[in-house]
Structure 1
Amino acid sequence: MKAKGKASTAKAAAAKAKAPKAGKPVKAAPLSELLRVPEGERLDLSAYDSRSTPAGPANKAEALADLARMGERLADLQERLYAASTSGDRRRVLLVLQGMDTSGKGGTVKHVIGLFNPSGCRIKAFKAPTPEEQNHPFLWRIMKALPERGEIGIFDRSHYEDVLIARVRELVPRSQLGRRYGQINRFEKSLTHDGVTVIKCFLHISNEEQRGRLLERLDRPDKHWKFNPGDIDERALWPAYQEAYEIALERCSTEAAPWFVIPSDRKWYRNWAISKLLLEHLEALDPQYPKAGFDVEESRERLLNGE
């Protein structure tokens, strides 16, 4: 008991030593640190509040106003990223969106990617593999859809389907499934070595929120096209899917390509948080416009002289 008391005292002293002095402004932690899945730690999604708003605006109105401000900065950084690619800069961004049905993958594409110039984006929604895709290794179709240099790529679902639904529906032997986590980690690490910034977002919603969103689709004729009776069958597998996500996030949140858990019951926070993550990563890249490879003054003089 005494040893435990000494340990607690030591922890308290260490915390006090790290605490900022009174009156000294505290710099807010980047959102990427707050939402990042710790590498190598056990994950329990039930411990994550899907209605929380870490470091976010106070309400929807403030979030929309902040999004408008971020939009200008995001558009500028996107243009600089694309411009830099014309001079040989290989860097690009890949945003991976995963989540249960109705978690907002399509909504994120609409509201967040809408802040960018669409000509510089490459969007791919992955469905069930085609017969051709089934004849290749599971990463084959992913590699074909990667963003080119200077682009921002968005995956609505991704290679993680091959360790999620494949696990829940037992589509492959467990021994083969187990190897896929390592293959994914090596694949993503190779992407980062080739200039790809990988941002993986798990859109975390509650079971109750999903029920409400499915009911809304039934209540509105203009949403019927989004509903599939099979969605109800999938809800019965909710615990199995949560476990599959926990395993995937736990095994594949790496230094090179970490996972971020995005509380997504509040759509306005989901959109704000993913926009903020994109902004933080693009600012870290800090792409620059390339210098002119020609004589600017000579070209100006020629134009002024009527050529």
Structure 2
Amino acid sequence: MADERAETIARFIEPLRVEPGSKVDLAEDFDPSYKAGLKKKDGVELLRTGVELLAEYQSRLAAQDTYGVLMCLQALDAGGKDGTIRHVMSGVNPQGVKVSSFKVPSAEEIGHDYLWRYACRLPARGEIGIFNRSHYEEVLVVRVHPEILDRQRLPESARGPSIWKRRYRAINDWERHLADNGFKVVKIFLNLSREEQRARFLKRIDLPEKNWKFSAADVRERRFWDDYQRAFSAMLSATSTEWAPWYVVPADRKWFARICAAAVLAHTLIGIDPQYPVVDAQTRKDLRAVRRSLEAEAPEGAPADPYEAEQRRKKGKQGGKGSGR
């Protein structure tokens, strides 16, 4: 069953994966309205299945305490990052998930290299970390608005036309270092169309309960739409690697984007295949001794082991149905 689920998920997300070494033209290669022939009513059940699968594997990841997972979410404004996190992670244990959002750098963060603040928010072993925006802002927003580099106080030798190529290389090396040390990096770009972004901005204005989400600065950024598309294309081309691949998720339909994000994260966890630790012989012997002691404390009329009794009862009911009685 696990193999079947793994194969199904792998086939589902394959069209979304950016092949390492390929040259991406975002507008030509990926359709924001793609939905793999699915209908929304089917998507509800698929998302529920994906969330259940994530809960199962997250429990094993935490118990094994060997690997960590970092999921990076990038999108333009109104791309659906918050909703994706809320729905995809709805069934997991919040103690095992750490979400970090990155705004304008603080004075302390500006005083360090540009990767420092992201390194400070990495997940621990056994955890799933989610970056709501990530270190890729340093080759997206900063590239579209190069005046931001002035605030980073870089030495003159670190400036110039080759800065983006050097940053791509540094990011790839950093992610390779994480992967080599047991931290799997998976990256999702929520690919939103210009028209869908316009519609979502208007909805934020039309609905009073969504007014707080609206920012005039977000609308001003629409003037740089083409610049962002070029920056995204260059980023995807340069930084999708075997150890940290990019997945371009169609984001015009929120329900489909959430299914895709859940599938990508589930695929990553299935690839790790974390296992519950197996105790040694001495520990098993100690457990048997404790069990006998606890069973001896059972009140009169109560089963010695309530869980075991419940399992026998369920098994008996299933057997009765199968016999046709």
Higher-Rg structure is 2
Q: Distance in 2 between matches of 1:46 and 1:61?
A: 28
Partner of 2:309: none
Q: Distance in 2 between matches of 1:225 and 1:237?
A: 23
Q: How many residue pairs are counted as aligned between the two chains?
A: 275
Q: Which amino acid in the other structure matches residue 80 of structure 1?
A: R
- Stretches of 4+ moved more than 4 A in 1? none
Percent identity over the alignment is 43
Q: CA offsets per residue over residues 265-302 of structure 1, 9 Å max, x none?
A: 00010000111111122122111111135132122123
Q: Distance in 1 between matches of 2:183 and 2:41?
A: 34
TM superposition shift of 1:306: 4.2
Q: Which amino acid in the other structure matches residue 11 of structure 2?
A: P
3-state SS of 1:237 partner: helix
Q: Distance in 2 between matches of 1:33 and 1:69?
A: 19
TM superposition shift of 1:31: 3.0
Query: For structure 1, which segment, 250-259 or 292-301, has the greater mean C-alpha deviation from structure 2 after superposition?
Result: 292-301
**Residue of structure 2 aligned with 1:132, choices 108, 126, 131:** 108
TM superposition shift of 1:208: 0.4
> If the length of structure 1 is used for normalisation, what is the TM-score?
0.86
Partner of 1:112: 88
- Contact 2:144–2:231 under 8 Å retained in 1: yes
Q: Which amino acid in the other structure matches residue 81 of structure 1?
A: L
Partner of 1:34: 15
- Contact 1:77–1:283 under 8 Å retained in 2: yes
Partner of 2:310: none
Gaps of 5+ in 1: 1-26
Q: CA offsets per residue over residues 113-171 of structure 1, 9 Å max, x none?
A: 11211111010011111110001011101111001111111110000001111100013
- Contact 2:189–2:247 under 8 Å retained in 1: yes
- Correspondence 1:53 to 2:38: no
Q: Distance in 1 between matches of 2:240 and 2:52?
A: 30
Partner of 1:64: 44
CA separation of 1:32/1:194 partners in 2, compared to 1, >3 Å: closer, same or farther?
Answer: farther
Q: CA offsets per residue over residues 11-50 of structure 1, 9 Å max, x none?
A: xxxxxxxxxxxxxxxx765234221112212111112110
**Residue of structure 2 aligned with 1:81, choices 61, 64, 73:** 61
RMSD of aligned Cα (Å) = 1.6
Q: Distance in 1 between matches of 2:134 and 2:16?
A: 20
Partner of 1:43: 24
**Residue of structure 2 aligned with 1:192, choices 179, 182, 192:** 179
Q: Which amino acid in the other structure matches residue 304 of structure 1?
A: E
- Correspondence 1:226 to 2:217: no
Q: Which amino acid in the other structure matches residue 98 of structure 2?
A: R
Q: CA offsets per residue over residues 59-100 of structure 1, 9 Å max, x none?
A: 111111121122222211111110111xxxx20111110011
Partner of 1:161: 137
Gaps of 5+ in 2: 1-6, 150-158, 299-325
Partner of 2:238: 251
3-state SS of 2:84 partner: helix
Q: Distance in 1 between matches of 2:172 and 2:252?
A: 29
Q: Distance in 1 between matches of 2:126 and 2:70?
A: 11
